[in-house]
Amino acid sequence: MPIANYGVLAAHPVDRRREDPHSDDSPHYQIHLVDENGVHYRAAVNVLSQEAPSELLYAAIDDFRHPVLDPLPARAVGWMPLPSRPGGASLDFVRGNLFDPAVMRALPPDLPGVDNDLADMLDHHVERAMADPESVVYLWGEPWGPENQPDKIFGFAPGGGVHNIHMNQGNSAEFRGDDGVWQDGGVVVRLPGEYRWVAFFLAFQSQSWHTDDTSGHALPSVPPGPTPTDGAVPVRIVAALVNPVGPAPEAEKVMLLNASPDPVDLGGWHLADRVKRTQPLPDVAVAPGDLLVVDVQPPVQLSNQGGIITLLDGADLKVHGVSYSSDEARREGWTLTF
């Protein structure tokens, strides 16, 4: 079954601890946080996989903009349960278009030197948040506690916190029971002093990026990895007119680019919106380097309050996806570029 009690913790970080990957068979990067009511938490962030290849994949986004941020509180309110469904604050690496999986890189957990391992990358973000008293760190995952004993790392009592702060679908057979959709983990740091949000996402190299829409299990016909085509996405969403001039219904448009050296037949392909309403694409072949402008048709809707757009092939597999925020969509008549 999927992970239990999925949700997000909103709290302020006060300490962090790097565990030695050579002295622990499952080392974590540990964060001590406190919410506005004085409740203490520990976030246990995986930095090494129990399965080979052991190095985790990470994506760090230094200016994160996405509609998933809109429902989040601006204050450190503590733990908040979330429903595992689209349209709110829940995360899904495959369906949510949070980032391009091709940007993920594998990093060792901890090495001598600076800015060369996963703990260094986390330190960079967490220490910035610790230095800003108004900052809030949001950690998606699975809660534990309260425990009938002090926390084993930071000593506060009662112990409790959040773990599974990573991709939670497309797992190998050993961890298949944790699979689910709209229940992925992540770290987002709100830095009011810098007027930005910083995001940090983690996945295991053994996980698949094409998963069943109901169970989150890996589709057996597709190999695991950040992108089955090693980042060579043949057709990409490059622009969209999501807020045309004039009253509704508006003439929304999506622009597709064939970035490959070969013609691509779009027969059977679809566009999908944030809640996965779909429309078929024209049954045409797009020549190399050519653009195709697609008129958005019902039931697909590109909300002016932020949204996602996903391109699906004839086997209903994700080819490419983008997202846009409400701020980006508010300017009437402007075309967004991705």
pLDDT at 154 (0 to 100): 97
Q: Which residue has the tokens 């043949």?
A: 234
The whole-angstrom distance between residue 328's C-alpha and the CA centroid of its chain comes to 19
Hey, what are 27's tokens?
């080392």
At 69-128, the pLDDT tens digits run 999 999 999 999 999 999 899 999 999 999 998 889 998 887 777 777 888 889 988 999
At 18-62, the pLDDT tens digits run 987 666 566 899 999 999 999 999 999 998 888 878 889 999 999
CA 173 – CA 176 distance, rounded (Å): 5
pLDDT at 114 (0 to 100): 75
Q: Comparing 90 with 221, which gets the higher pLDDT? A: 90
Helix-, strand-, coil-residue percentages of the chain, each rounded to 5 = 10, 35, 60
3 state SS of 253: strand
CA pseudo-torsion sign 99, 105, 109, 110? negative
- Please determine, for residue 332, whether its predicted confidence score (pLDDT) is greater than 50: yes
CA 254 – CA 238 distance, rounded (Å): 8
Please tell me the number of Cα atoms within 13 Å of 78 on its side-chain side: 7
3 state SS of 202: strand
Cα→Cα distances 198→42, 133, 137, 183, Å = 20, 16, 9, 20
Asked if 260 contacts 242 with a C-beta cutoff of 8 angstroms, the reply is no
Q: Which residue has the tokens 């986390």?
A: 122
CA 338 – CA 316 distance, rounded (Å): 22
pLDDT at 41 (0 to 100): 98
Nearest to 100 by CA among 257, 249, 229: 229
- Please determine, for residue 228, whether its predicted confidence score (pLDDT) is greater than 50: no
User: Which residues, 6 or more positions from 215, have their beta carbon under 8 angstroms from its beta carbon?
Assistant: 179, 180, 181
At 160-198, the pLDDT tens digits run 999 999 999 999 999 999 999 999 999 999 999 888 999
- Please determine, for residue 248, whether its predicted confidence score (pLDDT) is greater than 90: no
pLDDT at 224 (0 to 100): 64
pTM of the full predicted structure?
0.90
Nearest to 188 by CA among 254, 126, 264: 126
At 260-293, the pLDDT tens digits run 999 999 999 999 999 889 999 999 999 999 999 9
Cβ density class 248-266: b for 16+ within 10 Å, e for less: eebebbbbbbbebeeebeb
Q: Specify the pairing of strand 161-163 against strand 40-46.
A: parallel
CA pseudo-torsion sign 204, 206, 210, 212? negative
Nearest to 193 by CA among 116, 271, 247, 135: 135
Reported residue count of the chain is: 338
